[in-house]
């Protein structure tokens, strides 16, 4: 079982790296245009916090070094994204990014690490840190819910990229399986949630992937509100 969990963790590392690199095209565009345009920095700041906490969790928990390695890479990738925001964002967004970074990735992260390291020991420290990491990860996985609502409202997958949904589905599934093998419910619960949400996204994509069908549905909705010629005759 230990050997299997190692190989599953390696596959999970590879998939997670692809997820962390998925915004690369966006940031190449930002660097090329020397502007962050209408992009928001909050998702990258939150992902940086999430990765940093999981790195710390992987370091202090016995046998969780594969969790630490991939999230260590995530810290590096997300830190670069945040720095690019600080360089190329307009003044107002730059100030907002700086405040969020200092508050979440500075103050909150330091409070969690120092509080659990010096104020708690043994199973209590592991449980408290696990609950914090797990809860934050569930929130992160829940972020596509707005996109899913948009898909169902517009009947179009335009604002829900297929490959991002696919990688989140695979990432949640492989890490949920890893957590099952090593008996770590703090890793399992959020990633199981991510797997279910990723499945839902792919189902929505399959339903609404055909633009012609989507346009036809929208046209039918409009026609329902129009008065038919027969209703003009009294």
Would you state the pLDDT for residue 212?
Answer: 53
Q: How far is CA 42 from CA 1, 4, 180, in A?
A: 39, 36, 31
- As given in the structure block, the two tokens for residue 193 are 């949630």
Would you state the pLDDT for residue 47?
Answer: 92
Would you state the pLDDT for residue 226?
Answer: 42
Would you state the pLDDT for residue 205?
Answer: 87
Q: How far is CA 229 from CA 91, 166, 224, in A?
A: 56, 46, 13
- Exposure b/e, 122-133, CB count within 10 A at least 16 = b: eeebbeebbebb
Would you state the pLDDT for residue 221?
Answer: 47
Would you state the pLDDT for residue 214?
Answer: 45
End-to-end alpha carbon distance in the chain: 78
- Give the chain's largest Cα–Cα span: 82
Is the Cβ–Cβ distance between 118 and 131 less than 8 Å? Answer: no
Taking only the tens place, the pLDDT of each residue in 186-229 is 999 999 998 998 898 899 888 888 755 444 555 454 444 444 43
Query: In the chain, which stretches have pLDDT less than 50?
Result: 213-215, 219, 221-234
What are the two backbone dihedrals, phi and then psi, of residue 182, each rounded to the nearest 5 degrees? -95, -5
Would you state the pLDDT for residue 184?
Answer: 93
pTM, whole model, 2 decimals? 0.82
CA distance 60 to 55: 9
Would you state the pLDDT for residue 211?
Answer: 59
Spell out the domain ranges in the chain: 2-225
């Amino acid at each position: 079982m230990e050997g299997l969990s190692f190989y599953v963790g390696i596959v999970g590392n590879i998939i997670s790296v692809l997820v962390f690199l998925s915004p690369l095209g966006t940031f190449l565009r930002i660097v090329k245009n020397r502007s962050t345009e209408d992009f928001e920095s909050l998702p990258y700041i939150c992902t940086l916090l999430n990765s940093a906490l999981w790195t710390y969790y992987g370091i202090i928990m016995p046998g969780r070094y594969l969790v630490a390695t991939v999230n260590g890479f995530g810290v590096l990738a997300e830190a670069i994204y945040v720095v690019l925001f600080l360089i190329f964002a307009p003044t107002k967004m730059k100030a907002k990014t700086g405040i969020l970074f200092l508050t979440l990735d500075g103050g909150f992260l330091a409070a969690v690490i120092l509080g659990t390291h010096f104020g708690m020991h043994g199973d209590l420290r592991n449980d408290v840190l696990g609950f914090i990491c797990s809860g934050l990860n569930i929130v992160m996985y829940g972020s596509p819910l707005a996109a899913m609502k948009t898909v169902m409202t517009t009947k179009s997958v335009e604002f829900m990229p297929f490959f991002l949904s696919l990688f989140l589905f695979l990432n949640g599934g492989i890490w949920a399986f890893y957590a099952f093998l090593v008996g770590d419910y703090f890793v399992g619960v959020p990633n199981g949630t991510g797997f279910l949400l990723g499945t839902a996204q792919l189902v929505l994509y399959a339903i609404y992937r055909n633009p012609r069908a989507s346009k036809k549905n929208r046209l039918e909705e409009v026609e329902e509100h129009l008065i038919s010629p027969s209703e003009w005759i009294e």
